[in-house]
Amino acid sequence: MPRVSRDPPAASGRSSPPLLGHLILAVKELLPHSEVTSRCQYSPTTLLDDLAAGRLEATVLGDHPDQELPPLEGVVLNPIVTEPVFALLPTAHPLAAQEEVSLAQLMDEDWAVPRPDSDRTREYWSSVCAQAGRRPFTPYEAEGRQLIEIVRAGLAVSLCQATFIEAPGVAVRPLAGNPLWYRHVLAWHRDGALAAHGAEIHRRVAAGYLDTCAASPAYARWRERHPQSAGSAETRT
Classify domain 10-82+182-229 at the CATH topology level: D-Maltodextrin-Binding Protein; domain 2 (3.40.190)
What mean pLDDT do residues 131-139 have?
Answer: 89
Domain boundaries, the chain: 10-82+182-229, 83-174
Backbone angles phi, psi at 153, to 5 degrees: -75, -5
- Which residues are registered as beta bridge partners of 158? 88
4, pLDDT greater than 70: no
196, pLDDT greater than 90: yes
- The pLDDT tens digits of the residues spanning 182-191 come to 999 999 999 9
- The pLDDT tens digits of the residues spanning 97-134 come to 999 999 999 999 999 999 887 678 999 999 999 988 88
Q: How far apart are alpha carbons 159 and 150 in whole angstroms?
A: 12
- Which residues are registered as beta bridge partners of 189? 75
Q: How far apart are alpha carbons 144 and 147 in whole angstroms?
A: 5
Q: What pLDDT does 40 receive?
A: 77
Q: Which CATH number fits domain 83-174: 3.40.50.1100, 3.40.1160.10, 3.40.190.10, 1.20.210.10?
A: 3.40.190.10
**Number of neighbours of residue 2 by Cβ within 10 angstroms:** 27
Task: Look up the pTM and report it.
Answer: 0.88
What contacts 225, CB < 8 A, 6 or more positions away?
Answer: none
**Pairing outcome for strands 158-161 and 75-90:** antiparallel
Q: What pLDDT does 23 receive?
A: 93
Domain 10-82+182-229 shares a fold with domain 83-174: yes
pLDDT band for 37, please (50, 70, 90 cuts).
confident
pLDDT band for 85, please (50, 70, 90 cuts).
very high
231, pLDDT greater than 70: no
